[in-house]
Structure 1
Amino acid sequence: MKNRPAYGIDSVDHALRLATLLKQEGPLRVMEAAEHLGVARSTAHRLLAMLVYRDFAEQDDDRRYLAGPALRHPSAPEPVADLRRIAEPHLRELTARTGETTSVTVTVGHRTRFVATVECTQVLRVGDRAGRVLPAHLASGGKAALATLPDDEVRARLAAPDATEAGPVDVEALLRELRRCRRRGYALNEQATESGVTAIGRAVDGPPGAVPAAVAIAMPTVRFRRDRVAELGAELAAATGRIGTEWAVEAAGYRTG
């Protein structure tokens, strides 16, 4: 028998109960969620909005809330704690140098997950993406990671039954884009995942067998300029190089230590 913690946090408990309801019982409307929890409709709405933000829920065309990608597609946990710890100081430096928000991502199957984010200080900025899950073929970091894989593996990942949730995927067109990514060293996401947001990503050359990872710089589209792409690409190359080197050295130390 489990006892409620002495210092239980009601808002956390409510959010976890909602996530469980969405996973086990299916779609909910705001009023139904409020009734289940015994809270005001406005409180239920705020909780559901946060679950949507973190990909634990999403809305359908009837404005009902359903289980989101984080609940529908559980996968084996990625070994990202070391990557996060190694990457964060380099993300802070990259953000300071570019004036934009930076993130490190990992790509598992056909999805890309944000592992850590460092926000810039500009008033108009891209916010924290840590924990978000996006289609790999649309996200800049996801495309950069896919570009490190053989074409046949990319095809296999996008052949998964749920790979077209975000819409049809033109695999051959994507493969052509990935070839361009390999040549220039970076991938672009121009409002493909979120209106008003543009990002540039570059893969991290990690240790053998590591989950494909990338670093991305994201900014409001109104601030994106084509003449900055070369500069941002160079900053990404430096940052991903340092992260990859530290990650590989540390992994080798673990294997031989």
Structure 2
Amino acid sequence: MDKPLKNPPTYLITSVDHALRIAAMLQLEGELTVSEVAERLGVARSTAHRLLAMLVYRDFAVQDERRLYRAGPVLELAAHSPSVASRLRAAALPHLHRLVDVLDESANLAVRTGDTVRFIASVECTQSLRVGSREGMVFPAHRTTAGLLLLAELTDEELAAVYPAERYADRPEDRPDLARLRTRLARVRRNGFVLNQGRSERGVVALGVPIRAPDGDALAGLSVSMPSGRYDRRRLPALVDILSRAAGAVGADLARSA
């Protein structure tokens, strides 16, 4: 049985967490102001400014003449093409907020790169017991809701190319059993959604559907996450319907913005 991944540390260092989230924002989205960073993190502008100053000092960020911050030398290798992730995020955010308003559970947007997925947007609900923001976090694709959704789009040959045995020679335990994974992905294709009960994180249930381009290609995974104690399987059809309509709306908005 797969073990859960990335349970939050017992002692969360908030300032470090904030700095890492800012680095992920700059890497994925390009330019940001102090005010935008402060709003996204829910902190004062002075706090956001201090965090950005430290990132500049360590070359994770640079500030230009317009007083905008962007990815620095340490991150610039991955900052050459933030446009796709930025457009996806911009199109999805209003719908993520609506999902949170309707369901009162946290909502996420994630994309796949090779054998991993990265969360590029996350909106927390306001309940005291909730799944926190996953923005900027990276997980193995075969262990996540969005990853399974996007891997299900691949042919058997493409899937094998994602998980070549030689890449995992020094860590064979990280390579999924491809026969079992293909069976799981076939079920995802039949259902059109993924229900993830504790595979990524212990005590968390996530439900997701793909966001598709006009040509039908899956671009990202849209999901809601909740503490397992609040999941009611009788609501599954209704939740899938709400998510599917939101994913369709994101796809339509993205097409209009192209």
TM-score after normalising by structure 1: 0.66
Structure exhibiting the larger radius of gyration computed from Cα positions: 1
Greater RCO, CA 8 A, separation 6+: 2
The 3 A distance-change label for structure 1 pair 205 and 173 is same
Shift of 1:191: 1.2
Matching residue's letter, 1:97: V
1:229 maps onto 2:236 in alignment = yes
- Contact kept, 8 Å, 1:106 with 1:213, in 2: the verdict is yes
Q: Which residue of 2 aligns with 1:67?
A: none
The 3 A distance-change label for structure 1 pair 199 and 166 is farther
Matching residue's letter, 1:235: I
- Contact kept, 8 Å, 1:126 with 1:219, in 2: the verdict is yes
Q: Distance in 1 between matches of 2:98 and 2:51?
A: 34
1:249 maps onto 2:256 in alignment = yes
- Secondary structure in 2 matching 1:80: helix
Q: Deviations over 1:193-247 (max 9, x none)?
A: 2111110111111255977311011011121222222111111111111111221
Of 126, 139, 146, 2:144 maps to 139
Shift of 1:167: 2.6
Q: Deviations over 1:46-87 (max 9, x none)?
A: xxxxxxxxxxxxxxxxxxxxxxxx98x969645211111110
CA root-mean-square deviation: 3.1
Q: Which residue of 2 aligns with 1:3?
A: none
1:215 maps onto 2:222 in alignment = yes
Matching residue's letter, 2:197: E
The 3 A distance-change label for structure 1 pair 207 and 17 is farther
Q: Which residue of 1 aligns with 2:118?
A: 113
1:101 maps onto 2:106 in alignment = yes
Structure 2: gaps spanning 5 or more residues: 1-45, 61-73
Q: Which residue of 1 aligns with 2:160?
A: 155
Q: Which residue of 2 aligns with 1:187?
A: 194
Q: Distance in 1 between matches of 2:102 and 2:202?
A: 25
- Contact kept, 8 Å, 1:148 with 1:203, in 2: the verdict is no
Shift of 1:149: 2.1
The 3 A distance-change label for structure 1 pair 120 and 18 is same
Q: Which residue of 2 aligns with 1:62?
A: none
* Higher mean C-alpha deviation, range 136-145 or range 189-198: 189-198
1:18-167 alignment, distance < 5 Å = 77=81, 79-159=84-164, 161=167, 167=174
Matching residue's letter, 1:103: N
Q: Which residue of 1 aligns with 2:8?
A: none
Shift of 1:166: 7.0
- Contact kept, 8 Å, 2:168 with 2:174, in 1: the verdict is no
Q: Deviations over 1:175-199 (max 9, x none)?
A: 1111111111101221112111110
- Contact kept, 8 Å, 2:153 with 2:218, in 1: the verdict is no
